[in-house]
Amino acid sequence: MSYKKSITVFAPLLFLALFLPGTVFAQESANCLTCHSAMKGKLKTSGGALIELNVDTEKFRSSVHGSLSCTDCHIRFSDNPHSSPSASVPHQVLSISTKISSKYGVDPVAAAACNKCHEEIYNKVLGSVHGRNIIDKNQTDGALCLDCHGSPHYITSAEDPLSKISRKNQVETCGRCHGDKKIIEKYNLQENVMNSFQESFHGRKLHLGHMRAPVCASCHNSHDIKSKNDPSSPVFGKNRLQTCGKCHEGANEKFIPAITHRPPGPIPHYAEKALILLTMGVFAFVVLHVLLEAFSDIRDAIFRKGREE
Amino acid sequence: MSQTDTTTQQGIPKEIERFDIIFRIQHIVMFTTFLLLSFTGWGLKFAHEPQGLSSIWIRIWGGAETAGLIHRIAGIGMLLDFISHVFYLVYLFATKKMTINLKTTVIPLPKDVFDVIQNFMYFFGLSKEKARFCKYSYAQKFDYWAVFWGMFIIGFSGYALAFPMQVSYIIPEFTTGWIWELLGIMHSDEALLAIVFILFWHFYNEHLKPDVFPMSWIWITGKISTEQLKHHHPIEYDLLFPQEAQKDKKE
């Protein structure tokens, strides 16, 4: 066979080969989706948890995980009616699944399976204040992957405006816990963080579509988030010099107190009250004067016509 | 301001110069930058307006970045305009082209308070006489000094907010806990006051008032007719044309 001929034969074969694994995965997922794309509503498991049965095929396919097979994450099931897939659970995933089982009673293995591909990030999260809250304190309301990224079936790129962690939605996503009074009280979190951000120049600019305005993670980091009292937090003490300096080159110690989530102190508070009083006073005088003058002009035009000059 | 036109043999001139070309240019720069600053700043102050109205408004101004740039450039323009005005005043005083005279000065005097009271009495029908003004009525003095107040409060806080890094080197250590917040409040609240003030006071007195509608043309011609002078600034008229004033009295 000549060189040219061999190309014409093998090239299409090689091209087809590209589709091989994809087709296999798709077929396998398709089997699950035959039922789960049609099923509606939630099901109560024997453990008492409500699980969503429906998977939107189209949304799943267009998500970043669309090419994965269901059993990549759902390695085994704790509940019927499914028989467990034969695949063995990787050691790492198994070890994480036991740590997070307090939060994910139904299928901790699936929740831990993110670690298969996102090992580095998953370990960061487990070491973060969010992760430790689940592992060490066995809390169920602390944040793990899905709490910020949404359902793993529909995760899209962070650049996608619909993503729960996009610049457009991130503040709201964090606010689901950090603006929740019960959670703030329970964990003794800083109050009023959502409001103070929205009122700040950062928050206003972000809302108006400024491309370089920061979101929560810009200053607080994301996966390896730390308590603000942790000396390794990017917003702890002098660490802010570097954090603010990411955007504000040359940030110094007198500059960094400019942005905080703390409520305003007495000086700005009373200064604002005084300025509002001044504004209202001037406003009252000006409007009263203008209206009275206009009315007196009308009065003169009607009753005192001819008397003036 | 020089009063070059004096009484001619034919009698009195038809109009006299009120504001020279420098003052007129300063006024044009002032209101142009003021409008730009108000329009772009409004969007930021009320960024969280429902229905995203402010987002739409800011998009009209080219997006948040562009609107911010316009705001900064206009702000610097206004500050320079203000500084040029102060320097021009210093020059006029130094060369004796302008002197302080109680009947022509823009400095607030006790008479202005009495004028306000007099006018309010007139408005309520308690007096048949309106206040008689010198060269500048209290309304005009208020207008003029409001700009000074605004420049000190809004101008300097705005400069600090636009160049926080540079300003952070000169602010004292003990203020850092509250000064940034205070600067933001000063800038934003006083800007609203300035807009409200201009919208009601300046617009009514210099645009909407029946006497001047659609506007007082002095801003562009710099001249006021002697007829208007006699009517609106009688004390200055008496000062400039004492013989005419005498004649009028005899009649």
Tens of pLDDT along chain A (309 residues) come to 456 665 565 555 555 555 544 444 455 677 888 888 998 888 887 767 788 889 999 999 999 999 998 888 888 765 556 766 666 888 999 899 989 988 887 788 889 999 999 999 999 999 999 999 999 998 888 899 999 999 999 999 999 999 999 999 999 999 999 999 999 999 999 999 999 999 999 999 999 999 999 999 999 999 999 999 999 999 999 999 999 999 999 999 999 999 999 988 899 999 999 999 999 999 999 999 999 999 998 898 888 765 544
ipTM of the complex model: 0.88
pLDDT of residue A277: 96
Partner A contacted by B196 (CB < 8 A): yes
Span B203-210, average pLDDT: 91
Please tell me which residue of chain A has the smallest CA distance to B230.
A309
Partner B contacted by A19 (CB < 8 A): no
Residue ranges per structural domain of chain B: 18-99
CA dihedral A100, A101, A105, A108 (to 10 degrees): 70
C-beta atoms of A294 and B200 within 8 A: no
Residues 59-78 of B with CB under 8 A from A: 59, 63-65, 67-68
Residues 199-228 of A with CB under 8 A from B: 201, 203-205, 207-213
pLDDT higher than 50, residue B87: yes
Span B80-101, average pLDDT: 95
Which of A57, A172, A47, A149 has its CA nearest to residue A104? A47
C-beta atoms of B165 and A255 within 8 A: yes
Distance from CA of B56 to the nearest CA of A (A): 8
Higher per-residue pLDDT: A264 or B180: B180
The rounded mean pLDDT for chain B is 91
Left (φ > 0), alpha (ψ -120 to 50) or beta: where does A51 sit? beta
* B-chain residues near A168 (CB < 8 A): none
pLDDT of residue B51: 81
Residues 31-70 of A with CB under 8 A from B: none
* A-chain residues near B204 (CB < 8 A): 290, 293-294
Q: What is the per-residue pLDDT across A149-163, written as a single tens digit (0 to 9) for each?
A: 999 999 999 999 999
Span B33-49, average pLDDT: 95
Who among B54, B185, B209 is closest to A275 (CB)? B185
HEC profile of B83-139: HHHHHHHHHHHHCCCCCCCCCCCCCCCHHHHHHHHHHHHHHCCCCCCCCCCCCCCHH
Q: What is the per-residue pLDDT across B44-65, written as a single tens digit (0 to 9) for each?
A: 999 998 888 999 999 999 999 9
What's the sign of the alpha-carbon dihedral B208, B214, B220, B223? negative
A15-29, A39-53, B70-84, B132-146: range with lowest mean pLDDT: A15-29
Which of B188, B108, B203, B200 has its CA nearest to residue B148? B108
Q: Are residues B40 and B46 in contact, defined by beta-carbon separation less than 8 angstroms? A: no
CA dihedral B123, B129, B131, B132 (to 10 degrees): 150
